[in-house]
Structure 1
Amino acid sequence: MAHACCGPGYASPEAAMKAEREKILYTIAIYTGTGIEAPDYLATVDVDPDSPTYSQVIHRLPMPYIGDELHHFGWNACSSCHGNTSKFRRFLVIPGLRSSRIYIVDTADAHTPKLYKIIEPEAIKEKTNLTAPHTVHCLADGHVMISMLGDSEGNGPGGFLLLDENFEIAGRWEQQADAMRFNYDFWYQPRHNVMVSSEWGAPKTYYSGFDLNDVAADNYGHQLHFWDWSKHEIIQSVDLGEEGLIPLEVRFHHNPDSTHGFVGAALSSNVWHWQKSNGRWEVEKVIDIPSVEVEGWPIPVPSLITDILISMCDRFIYFSNWLHGDIRQYDISNPSQPKLTGQVWCGGLLGKAGEVQGHKLAGGPQMLQLSLDGKRLYVTNSLLSTWDNQFYPDFAKTGSYLLQIDCDTEKGGMKINENFYVDFGKEPAGPARAHEMRYPGGDVTSDIWV
């Protein structure tokens, strides 16, 4: 079984890469939508506390174009490829959510990655009629699979793009997606011949910002889809209804024998748990975050759960409440009855956040990444350029942060590390916004175990 509790992921055989696996952190930084005419870039951040450049950006790889909105990204290989000794984590696959351009980045030199290849949006549209790439996962057969949120006109439901081992477009993964209105994230569990996908909305809906009228018009998703992994078709869809609006990140247990998984519904501000029971996939709501009255807001403000992840040992779940401003840790030893074990405030609209190294924590906690041993949780605070501008307009001046949260893996609990603060407001071209993060050696959202 290619799985270990809080153990190392499938890494490069190169000794240098292994040595650096948790000393640097790749972080997406964007200028799209900020008013600064500069390309988005991949930042290499020093996270080694023994280094003289600790908590600093030590390298920047700008993309050749402006306006990509780099978003989520992933590796060409991971634990799914453990049986193939020729495969190792060398190339990052970095999509532009807004441009539909896909960049392949070579990390042979871990500290100074280089651009290797560009897949242009015109080729993707021509061969697959897809746009708006989002989640990237490697597959055991050497392909890379990317969830695509729209067609060439920006309409739903989108689909799934396949790249071959040479990063050539291999076509679409799904046989048909008639039951799917929208697309977003996905995670597969080969031992159970299943993939789960979630729904956000059509690109033409969310690109311009959030509008309550789109909620009333049913322009946002509220379904989970369970796919037959071998047949590439939906076998069961679950409508979460008004209590499960905009289900985003989906996470199976890392243990490949498990059928348990979770999804955070952003707008409804709750967490849902699924498992397979008596041959069918059952879904239940297990966590609810109440909305809060905030002066000047026309409706009670939802917490807006925007990212969620599970520790490698499958004991803790973490999620971020982007509008309220807190990150929560729950013990999920009993997946149907999560228990709150930790909470920290990192910004938000409720005014409960403090400062780190003299910096007021602006915006709200958003993207999360956890070290393989579960002790270091990293967080950035940019969601999407237009939504950032709408809900946190000061971002244009302050830029983003990258924080480290120290996690107690024995008793539970979290604490902001006061010695770590990466200020993306002081970048050379001006204030930038940080989004997703990846360790060179893998992290708790890079790997799918087979």
Structure 2
Amino acid sequence: MSSCHHRFFSSPQEATKAEPEKLLYVVCLYVGTKNEQQPDYLAMIDVDPSSPTYSTVVSRTPVPYVGDELHHFGWNTCCSSPQKDTLARRYLIAGGQRSGRIYIFDTADEKHPKIHHIIEPEQLKSKVNLGAPHTVHCLPNGNIMISMLGDSETNNPGGFLLLDQQFQILGHWEKDMKGVDFNYDFWYQPRYNIMVSTEWAAPKTYFQGFHMEDVKNGKYGKKLHFWDWKEQKLVQSIDLGEDGWLPLEVRFHHNPDSCHGYVGAALSSNIFHIFQSSNGTNEWKAEKVISVPPVVPENDSTPVPAVITDILISMDDRFLYFSDWLHGDVRQYDISEPSKPRLTGQLWLGGLLGKTCKVGDHTLGGGPQMLQLSLDGTRLYVTNSLFSSWDNQFYPEIADRGSYLVKVNCNTEQGGMELDHSFFVDFGKEPGGPCRAHEVRYPGGDCTSDIWI
């Protein structure tokens, strides 16, 4: 087994000094393309600049079924676990949004993972009545927690699934979901005994694509939920109102002593700073600190919202990054003062505003979506697929052209970003035909894998 699997860090500061990554894992899917009878797969990408296969897919591990729509994935253990000396960051847990199926990939051979275990949707239905797996986080007690966005019939509100280290179903994490209408992402900060979860919609709603009538009819979320981490119960909810439609990704600072975090409200295109009140109570606050206004494209009369779909924080808690999927830009903000983010970088990578971007001979289609940042903060990787039905609605060309993976070089001193023209992975030229590329992970951990206790 590669020593990389045992590379755990005692602190975020130590993680920033890690050796550069040489391999990436990317989930790829065929749902909603002309090749939709092909199974989804886990792709291994060579990102070592000294390698002869740099910027190429070096291997693929397909799943045995068709139509899963692999989406987000994560590790079996991480830096939060006191058992990390005896456990390896070896198994990747990936959920199929449409099927409800959960795959466990064994990465003992980093370049050629194998499927180790499959949790079938029938098991989830009979034991916990949950479906549509999303965010995966390892827990301090060695278990694995997955946010589930619906029940087995794609209804809201879903819940939080617990697995043990043998990937057996333990049950629900939460005591109950009373007061929670929808589920999506989550992040926990143990020193504050808090977990924050966000809202999207019932799977049966977003599976069909986006319709503004569903927002008007209350079928999408706009609340943040704060949970007592030890008691596993809801203690506070914040309704973000019209400024907070579709609060998707949530990130706390990596510093376990920090009570600061950020949430991206996708449809309203705002970033909220979340923090614990200093008035002696345990109350949590949310303040809007960044707003990206709608833009009317040339030769059009309809304003286009930015649609903030992914956010992350650098390991040193210095920079916040987010993607505006419909506008087409990636932004970098200095968050040294958490309540006063300062724009330090902006890069256009497609979008609906007519700003053409090329990497070599490749014109980027779609808009920037999933982000992953290197541990030292200097390399940002970007893919452009959000969800198959939403892709087909806003960027139908992805179904025929496939996705891309690009690399952005980030200045960690003064700030700033620059597209790396030596790196481009074209998922339009895969052996099974054009496919969609979604979330990205590093074998040695990345800026969204680890939580410290």
TM-score tier (shorter): over 0.9
Determine whether 1:72 maps to 2:69: no
Name the SS for the 1:5 alignment partner: helix
CA RMSD of aligned residues (A): 1.4
Distance 1:339 1:6 in 2: 26
Q: Which deviates more from structure 2 when the two are superposed, residues 417-426 or residues 152-161?
A: 152-161
Structure 2-normalised TM-score? 0.95
Cα offset for 1:52? Answer: 0.4
Distance 2:302 2:437 in 1: 28
1:109-148 equivalent positions in 2, closer than 5 A: 109-148=109-148
1:255-266 equivalent positions in 2, closer than 5 A: 255-266=255-266
Distance 2:95 2:65 in 1: 12
Distance 1:155 1:354 in 2: 39
Distance 2:418 2:84 in 1: 39
Change (3 A) 1:384 1:296: farther
**Number of matched residues?**
441
* Contact 1:6/1:372 (<8 A) preserved: no
Counterpart in the other structure of 1:165: 165
Name the SS for the 1:79 alignment partner: coil
Counterpart in the other structure of 2:251: 251
1:211-290 equivalent positions in 2, closer than 5 A: 211-277=211-277, 278=279, 279=281, 280-290=283-293
* Contact 1:325/1:353 (<8 A) preserved: no
Distance 1:112 1:434 in 2: 18
Cα offset for 1:4? Answer: 2.7
Structure 1-normalised TM-score? 0.96
| Amino acid across the alignment from 2:395 | Y
* Contact 2:34/2:400 (<8 A) preserved: no
Determine whether 1:401 maps to 2:404: yes
Determine whether 1:86 maps to 2:86: yes
Distance 2:141 2:15 in 1: 24
Cα offset for 1:153? Answer: 1.7
Distance 1:35 1:195 in 2: 40
Cα offset for 1:87? Answer: 1.2
Change (3 A) 1:133 1:45: same
Change (3 A) 1:117 1:418: same
Counterpart in the other structure of 1:3: 11
Distance 1:2 1:421 in 2: 33
Q: Which structure 2 segments of 5+ residues have no match?
A: 1-8
Name the SS for the 2:224 alignment partner: strand
Counterpart in the other structure of 2:32: 33
Cα offset for 1:352? Answer: 1.2
Name the SS for the 1:444 alignment partner: coil
* Contact 1:6/1:374 (<8 A) preserved: no
Counterpart in the other structure of 2:311: 308
Counterpart in the other structure of 2:374: 371
Determine whether 1:22 maps to 2:21: yes
| Amino acid across the alignment from 2:101 | R
| Amino acid across the alignment from 1:366 | Q
Distance 2:348 2:316 in 1: 25
Distance 1:236 1:297 in 2: 42
Cα offset for 1:326? Answer: 0.2
Cα offset for 1:142? Answer: 1.1
Percent identity over the alignment? 63
Change (3 A) 1:222 1:354: same
Counterpart in the other structure of 2:188: 188
Cα offset for 1:151? Answer: 1.1
